[in-house]
Amino acid sequence: MTENSEVSQLVKILGLNYGEKYVNKTDLSKLRYGKLMIMADQDQDGSHIKGLVINFIHYKWPNLLKHDYIEVFITPILKVTKGSDVIPFYSMPEFEQWQASTPNWQKWKCKYYKGLGTSTAKEAKEYFSNMDRHRILFKYDSIKDDLAIQLAFNSALADDRKDWIKWHTEDVNQKRRENLPADYLYRKDTKQIISQLVKILGLNYGEKYVNKTDLSKLRYGKLMIMADQDQDGSHIKGLVINFIHYKWPNLLKHDYIEVFITPILKVTKGSDVIPFYSMPEFEQWQASTPNWQKWKCKYYKGLGTSTAKEAKEYFSNMDRHRILFKYDSIKDDLAIQLAFNSALADDRKDWIKWHTEDVNQKRRENLPADYLYRKDTKQISFNDFINKELVLFSKSSTERAIPSIMDGLKPGQRKIMFVCLTKNLIREIKVAQLSGKVAENSAYHHGEQSLTNTIVGLAQNFVGSNNINFLVPAGQFGTRLHGGSDAASARYIFTRLSPLALALFNKYDEPLLTYLNEDGMSIEPEWYCPVIPTVLVNGAHGVGTGYSTDIPSYNPLTLSNNMKFYIRQEKEKRRLANDPTEQPKQYSDVLTLEDLVPWYKNFTGEIKLLDNDRTRGVINGVCAKLDEASIEITDLPVGTWTQYYKENVLETMLHPKRNDIQPSILDYKEYHTDTTVRFVIKLSQAQFAKFHESGLHKSFRLQETFKLTNMVLFDHHGILRRYKSPEEICLEFFTVRLHMYVKRKEYMVGTLQSQCSKLDNVARFIKEKIENIIIVENKKISAVVEMLIERKYDRDPEKVWREEAKKQFAVDIQTSNGNDNPDQLADLQQKQEDDEEDDDDDDENKKPKATTASTANKIDTTYYDYLINMSLRNLTKERRNEILREQQDKHEKLEALLKRSPEDLYEEDLAHFEAEYHKAIAKERADEMSEVAHYTTKKVGDGGRKKQLAKPQRAETKPAPNGQRIVPVIDPAFVKKVAEELAKRNREEKVTADKRTIIDFLVNEGISSDEITQIMQARCKEKKKLGGTTEKKSSETTKEKKMDENSNSSIISMEGKDNSNDDVKEETSPKRIPKRTVKGKTIKYGSDNDDDNENQENESDYNGSDSESEIKIKKAKPKPKVQLAEKNALNVLMQNRQNKDENKTEKPKKPRVKKEPGATTTKKETVKKETKTIKRPKPLAESDDEDDIAILSTSPVGNKKARIQRDKTDKKNYHISDDDDFD
C-alpha cells in the first residue's frame, strides 16, 4: 500500500516520516498540519474510505490516534422537506428511526445525497459556515479503539469479523422487533443545541451589550423561557440564566429575560378551580383550608400535561403568565454565583441549610411561606428566583440523593417499598408492571425508566450490591461481571417482596408512621423504622447539591447484636432506677458491643480499618501464588467489577498503550462465573520478583482505600447531618427505634383493649337478647339507643379508640376487623379514600341521629351500629360460642402484652429477623450446591436402562487448592497520608452565628457587580493554572521557605491535601478569631456544633477582651509553625477586592507599629500587617477528591499546600483555601 503513488503523496503532504513514533504530543510540531480531516461521502462507501485512512495511520503511526490527530467532515446523507421545514439526516438508522416515529412521513419529500458532489454551492456554504456541527473529532478512548481497528482490517481476524457482522445483524433485528431506537453516530449534542440557541438569538461571543441600544443588534428583544413549572423546570431556568449571565452579564441588567409560568397544580370542587404556581403556595392553602381533602387535585408535571383548552387560556391571559426577570442590584449577581459557581460549593451547603431552618421555623410559628408568582406579580428579581424557587430544586436534588438515617432509603426507593408493603406483594410481579403501580399509587412525577432501575437495584444481590435485597430477583437482574448493568429489560424480569424485608419492616409499625401527602393523595411515610439500621446494612452513595454521602455496608448480624446490647443496657438502667439496691442480673448469654467494620456478603477479601485512624481503611482483593511464574486472583476489591478489571488493568499490563513499554505480564486466563472471580496470570520470574517486592496487591490494583468521613444523612427530624462514625448512627437509630416500640405498645394495648371491650359488649348483648332482656322489635332506633345507654352499653369502643388514637399518634388509624388479620393494614391508601367518601356521605345525606330529649347529651346513633346492625347469625349457639372464645383469646393477648416491656418487643423482632436471615443464607447455600451438583443421564445397554452419573464440578472456577495466599501489605505512603489528615482534622472550626445571607454579607463589604464577574472569571483561570510535576513543586516549596525566612510578616498557610509530597510537616491548628463587627452588626465566628457547652468553651478563649461595639484586632506574632487558614470560598471575593484596592494610587494609612525593646525601625523596614481571616463552617460532606485544591495567590504556588505572603500594607486580608467538592 505504501508503494501507491496517492498514498506516497498524502504522506509527503502531511509531513509524515516512516519509522517516527510521535510518542509525545510535542512531536506533532514536526508535521506540516496539526490535524488530518477526512472529507468523504456520507454513504457506506465513504465510511469505507474513512476506515482505510484510519487503518493506514494506525498501522504506521498508532500514536497519532492517541493525540486526536484525525477529524472527519460530515454532510447529510438524506434530507426531508415539507414546505419550509427541512430535516437533515447524517445516517440511515437516524432516518429509519424518524420514519418509525413520524406518522404520515410519506408526505415529506426525500432527497438522497450520494456524495459531496450532490450538494449545491449554497448547501456547501451552509456546511462550512457551521463547522461546529459538521466537524467531528475522532477521540482515542482506550485499548478498545485499537482492538476495534484490528477487528475490522486485520487479516488474522477474518473469522471474528463474521461473528462481528452476525452479532450486529442480530442486534439490529432484535431492536426492530422490540421497537427500540437504533444506534447511530453524529447525534445533536448539548454543545450543538447551545450553538443553535446563540445563533437564533443573534448573540455574539465577546460582545458586551453595555448600552440598551446594543440590543438592536439582536434578532429578538426578549428571551422567554418556557419550562416545566416543577423543580426540574426551575433548574432549566437557572441554567439558562447562568449561561447568559456568564457570557453576557449586561443583558440581565437590560431586562432581557422573561419566563412563562403555568400552574403546577390545580384543585377543583364543582365549578370552582384554583390554580397554584408553586408548591409552597399550595401548602399554605392546605393549611388555611378546612376539609381541603374534599377538593380534587391534579398535578401538572410539565407543559405537556395541559390540554389544548388550558393552553389557550394561558396565552389569552399573558399578563398573568408572563413574568419579567428584573435586575435589582448586586444581590442578583451574587445569587447566581452562589447557585452555580464551583468556588462556592461549601456556601451552597449553608444556603440549603439556612433555607431549611427558615421553612421549619415558619411552620412552627404558623407563618406564611415565601413563594413567587403571586396574583399581582409582574416581575421578579434574580435574587428572589434563586432564593425562593431554585433553592427548592437544590433541596429536592439533595433529598433524592441522600437517604434517611432511619430506613436508609431515598424517596424513590421508599415509594417502591410503600407500594410493595401496602399491597402485600408476596407474589411475583413483572418489574415493568410494578413501576406502573408505584407511579400510580405514590405520586411519582419522574421518568418510569429511572423507577425501573431503582427496582432492579433493590433486588440485586451480587457481591458489592446489597447485603440484604428487599426484593427477590426472579430473572437476570445483573451480575458482578458488569456491576449490574447487564440486567435484562424490565418487561422480562419479575420480583416480589423478600421474606427478610417483611422481617425488617414490621407491619405493626405502619399505623405509627407519619405519612406524607402529595397532590391530595396520601403517599409513603416520612421514613420507615426497620429493626436494625438498614442504612448501614446496604450502605449509601449519592451526590446532591452541595452535599454528598458515602457509607459502606456492614454485617446485619453484627448490627443486630449491637442493638441487643443497647437493649440490655436500657433494661439494666430501668431496673436499677426502680430499685438501686438490686444486684445486677445474671444473663445466660454474654453480649458485647462488637466493632463495626465494613462487610459485604460473599466477599472473600480483607477489609481493615487503620489502627491509628478508624475513619480510614483498605479493601484488599485475594491473590495467591501458584508457582514461581504464575499467580491467581480469586476476588477483587468491592466495587471493582470483573470486566472493568480485565479491560483496565490486565489488558493494559499485557498490551501497554505505548510501544516503548514492555508488557508487565506474559498472559492471563479467565475462569469466572456470574458470582465468582478467577484470573490465572502468567509471569516471568523477574516480573514476579519485581511485583512481590513492591507488593502484589498494589501492583495489580487489588488494594482500594475508603474513608468514613463523609457519612451524611437526613436525621429523624429531616435535617442533614454528618455522622462521625457508624456507632453514632447506631445510637441515634436505637433511640428513635426504642421510642417507636414504646408507641407501638401503647397503640397495641389500646387496640386490644378496644377489641376486648367491643367483644364484651357484643357477648353481653347476645346473652341479654337471648334472655329477652333487650327487645328491639318494632322500636325506633332512638329508643333502642336510649335503652342501650340506660343499660350502660359502651359506644363503639373501636371507633372511639380510632378517634382518640388519631389525635394521640397524629396518624390515620386503620379500621380493625377484630380478628387480628395480618393484612388489616395492607391497603392504607384505599381505606383513607373510603373514609373520605363515608365522611362526604355523612355530611350530605346523614344528619346526626340524636336520642330523645330526655338524654342529657345528644349521642350519634352510629356509635351503636355495631350492636344494632348485628347479624341474626350471631344469635346462634355456634356463633355465640365462637365470639366467647375470641373474647377470651383477646383478653389473654392483652394480659400477655401488658407483661412485656418495649425492650421485650424489640428483642422478639430481632430474634425473628435473625431466624429469617439464617434461613435465607441457608437457602442461598443450598441453591449454590444444587447448581454445582448437577446430574446427567446416559443410556446403558439395549434395555434402555438409565444410570445417573454425577457431573464433575467446575474445579477451574474455584481457587487452586495448592495456592499460597499472599498477605496484603498496606501502602506506607497511604498510612502516612492518613496520619497527616488526622492531624489536620483536629482544628477549631468557626461559623457565623448571625444567620444573615451570604449575599447580604458581601453587599455590606461594598463589592460591585462588575467586580463579581471579574473575580469569578479570574478565579476559574487561577484554578486551571494549578498543577505541575513533583519536582517543580519541590523547587517552588524551597523558594517559599526562603521567602518565609526573609519576611518579617507572619505566614498563613492555605490548607490543602497533597498526595505527591510526603515530606509535609504537621501543621498547627488555627488561632481563634475574635468577633467581627460590620457596619454596627456583630458577627460571631464560633463552632458549628449543637453542644452549647462546647461553644462556650471555644468562645471563652478569645471573647473575653472584645467589645460589642468595637473590634480590637490583635497583631499577628511570628510563629515557628505556620498557621492554617480555614476553608472559605467567600474569601475569593474579599481577596480579589483587597488586591484591587491595594493597586490604587492612594497612599495607605500608616499603621501603628509596636517596637520591641532595643529595636530600631527605619522607613524602609516592612511593617507587620493586621490580618483577619474569615472562617467557613465545617462542610457536612467533603469531597472524595481532596487533592484538587484551588488557591488564590500572588505568590509562587509551590504545591497544593501553597502559602500566601501578606502584602506590605496595613489593609485587612481575607484568605481562601477551598476544595472542589461541588454538586
Best mean pLDDT range from 914-918, 1078-1082, 1126-1130: 914-918
**C-alpha atoms less than 13 angstroms from C-alpha of 1061 in its C-beta half-sphere:** 25
Confidence of residue 454 (pLDDT cuts 50, 70, 90): very high
Query: Which cell goes with 709?
Result: 468521613
Q: Is the pLDDT of residue 485 over 60?
A: yes
- Kindly state whether residues 699 and 762 are assigned to the same domain: no
User: Which pLDDT score, from 0 to 100, does residue 2 have?
Assistant: 53
Alpha-carbon distance 329 to 585, whole Å?
A: 70
Query: Which cell goes with 667?
Result: 498472559
Express as a percent the part of the chain with pLDDT over 70: 73
- Which residue type, as a one-letter code, is found at position 590? V
The CA-atom distances, in angstroms, between 978 and each of 117, 702, 970, 975, 1060 are 65, 19, 12, 5, 14
User: Which pLDDT score, from 0 to 100, does residue 357 have?
Assistant: 84
- Kindly state whether residues 541 and 613 are assigned to the same domain: no
Rounded average pLDDT over 54-65: 89
User: Which pLDDT score, from 0 to 100, does residue 753 have?
Assistant: 92
- Kindly state whether residues 261 and 378 are assigned to the same domain: yes
User: Which pLDDT score, from 0 to 100, does residue 558 have?
Assistant: 95
Task: Transcribe 99-164 into DSSP letters.
Answer: HHHSTTGGGSEEEE--SGGGS-HHHHHHHHH-HHHHEEE----SHHHHHHHHHHH-GGGHHHHHHH
Query: Which cell goes with 351?
Result: 444556603
- Residue 870 sits in a domain of what CATH number? 1.10.268.10
Best mean pLDDT range from 156-170, 849-863, 1200-1214: 156-170
- Kindly state whether residues 328 and 367 are assigned to the same domain: yes
- Residue 330 sits in a domain of what CATH number? 3.40.50.670
Q: Is the pLDDT of residue 108 over 80?
A: yes
Q: Which of 20-29, 170-179, 306-315, 1075-1084 has the lowest mean pLDDT?
A: 1075-1084
Final residue belonging to a domain, choices 394, 419, 435 = 394
Final residue belonging to a domain, choices 142, 176, 210 = 176
Is 1147 within the bounds of a domain?
no
Q: Is the pLDDT of residue 564 over 90?
A: yes
The CA-atom distances, in angstroms, between 652 and each of 146, 284, 666, 677 are 12, 60, 12, 19
Is 821 within the bounds of a domain?
no
Confidence of residue 999 (pLDDT cuts 50, 70, 90): low
pLDDT tens per residue across span 1011-1026: 655 655 565 565 555 5
pLDDT tens per residue across span 1077-1117: 333 333 333 333 333 333 333 333 333 333 333 333 333 44
pLDDT tens per residue across span 1149-1204: 444 444 444 444 444 444 444 433 433 344 333 334 433 333 333 333 333 333 33
Show the domain range for 122: 5-176
DSSP 1129: T
Confidence of residue 919 (pLDDT cuts 50, 70, 90): very high
Is 271 within the bounds of a domain?
yes
Best mean pLDDT range from 675-679, 911-915, 935-939: 911-915
Q: Determine whether 547 is an active site residue.
A: no
Confidence of residue 245 (pLDDT cuts 50, 70, 90): very high
Burial class from Cβ neighbours inside 10 Å (0-12, 13-18, 19+) for residue 91 reads buried
Is 865 within the bounds of a domain?
yes
Final residue belonging to a domain, choices 113, 144, 176 = 176
- Kindly state whether residues 348 and 262 are assigned to the same domain: yes
- Kindly state whether residues 420 and 370 are assigned to the same domain: no
Q: Is the pLDDT of residue 473 over 60?
A: yes
1020 vs 47: which has the higher pLDDT? 47
Is 823 within the bounds of a domain?
no
Query: Which cell goes with 810?
Result: 397524629
Q: Is the pLDDT of residue 319 over 70?
A: yes
Q: Is the pLDDT of residue 117 over 50?
A: yes
Q: Which of 200-209, 783-792, 821-830 has the lowest mean pLDDT?
A: 821-830
Rounded average pLDDT over 366-377: 81
- Kindly state whether residues 703 and 755 are assigned to the same domain: no
pLDDT tens per residue across span 1032-1060: 444 444 444 444 444 333 322 333 333 33
Q: Is the pLDDT of residue 637 over 70?
A: yes
Confidence of residue 125 (pLDDT cuts 50, 70, 90): confident
Q: Is the CA virtual torsion 22, 27, 28, 30 positive or negative? A: negative
Find cell 477487528 and name the residue.
151
Query: Which cell goes with 175?
Result: 431492536
User: Which pLDDT score, from 0 to 100, does residue 1004 have?
Assistant: 56
For the chain, what is the mean pLDDT? 75
Rounded average pLDDT over 350-372: 83
- Residue 653 sits in a domain of what CATH number? 3.30.1360.40
Is 851 within the bounds of a domain?
no
- Kindly state whether residues 634 and 501 are assigned to the same domain: no
Rounded average pLDDT over 98-103: 80
Confidence of residue 949 (pLDDT cuts 50, 70, 90): very low
User: Which pLDDT score, from 0 to 100, does residue 460 have?
Assistant: 93
User: Which pLDDT score, from 0 to 100, does residue 540 have?
Assistant: 94
Q: Is the pLDDT of residue 877 over 80?
A: yes
DSSP 547: -
User: Which pLDDT score, from 0 to 100, does residue 1019 have?
Assistant: 55
Tell me the pTM. 0.66
User: Which pLDDT score, from 0 to 100, does residue 1007 have?
Assistant: 61
Rounded average pLDDT over 445-470: 90
Among left, alpha and beta (phi > 0; psi -120 to 50; other), residue 934 is beta
Tell me how many domains the chain contains.
5
From the candidates 33, 112, 220, 492, which is the catalytic residue?
Answer: 492
User: Which pLDDT score, from 0 to 100, does residue 749 have?
Assistant: 92
- Kindly state whether residues 326 and 429 are assigned to the same domain: no
Closest C-alpha to 1111, from 1078, 1137, 1143: 1078
How many CB atoms are located within 10 Å of the residue 481 CB? 19
- Kindly state whether residues 876 and 753 are assigned to the same domain: yes
Beta bridge partners of 703: 620
Confidence of residue 845 (pLDDT cuts 50, 70, 90): very low
- Kindly state whether residues 163 and 228 are assigned to the same domain: no
pLDDT tens per residue across span 687-728: 888 888 888 888 899 999 898 989 999 999 888 899 999 999
The dihedral over CA atoms of 380, 384, 385, 391, expressed in degrees to the nearest 10, equals -160
Q: Are 392 and 231 in contact (CB under 8 A)?
A: yes
Rounded average pLDDT over 575-585: 77
Confidence of residue 857 (pLDDT cuts 50, 70, 90): very low
Could you tell me where the DSSP H helices lie in 775-827? 781-790, 797-809
Rounded average pLDDT over 604-621: 86
Is 1115 within the bounds of a domain?
no
- Kindly state whether residues 644 and 791 are assigned to the same domain: no
Is 319 within the bounds of a domain?
yes
